Amino acid sequence: MNSDTTPFAVESDLQIAGDILSVQHLLQPAREHPATVAEFAGLSRSIAEDRASWEHLVEYDATTRWYHRLRTGPGYEVWLLSWVPGQGSGPHDHGASSGVMTVLEGELTEHGRRGPRTLAAGAQRVFAPGYAHDVVNDSLDGAVSLHVYFPGLTEMPMHHCSPARPESLPV
């Protein structure tokens, strides 16, 4: 069958008769807050693009990792973190929380079960509950990242091993 005879050609003759807004069962109510992974990733991206909402808050601290809770919503929270060169999180997971990490400035290296992964500005990483990793600023410049947790972060268990070596992770 060629493209001229397919029943669903690109040019459709579908037409809407009457007021589509009066067909309530076809309309989705506007969400008050994100509910899907894609919506949480979109929330993170929209905050990342709104530099004025976070840029003035960033601080760098050579003695400890700096972080600031930027926003909370129903069942989620958003954190802003800065990383000086060489600073890392240590091997950890996020308990029952899933998350989206977005690199805002600089670059970070995530060490996980599949080895190291470099995340440049604009990169996003979605992770499931219990996912263990170690995030490090291996570059010579500062870095900033945004973290959205859902449900909100209630624990961050530290691991005494490298997530890059799965045989050493607790089961």
Q: Which domains occur in the chain, in start order? A: 34-168 (2.60.120.10)
* 151 vs 114: CA distance, rounded Å: 25
* 166 vs 13: CA distance, rounded Å: 55
Asked whether the beta carbons of 100 and 40 are under 8 A apart, the reply is yes
How confident is the model at residue 46, as a pLDDT? 95
How confident is the model at residue 28, as a pLDDT? 65
C-alpha separations of 107 from 81, 122, 138, 140 in Å = 13, 9, 8, 10
Q: Nearest-CA neighbor of 95 among 150, 135, 44?
A: 150
More confident residue, 148 or 114: 148
Per-residue pLDDT tens digits for 48-89: 999 999 999 999 999 988 999 999 988 899 999 999 999 999
How confident is the model at residue 24, as a pLDDT? 64
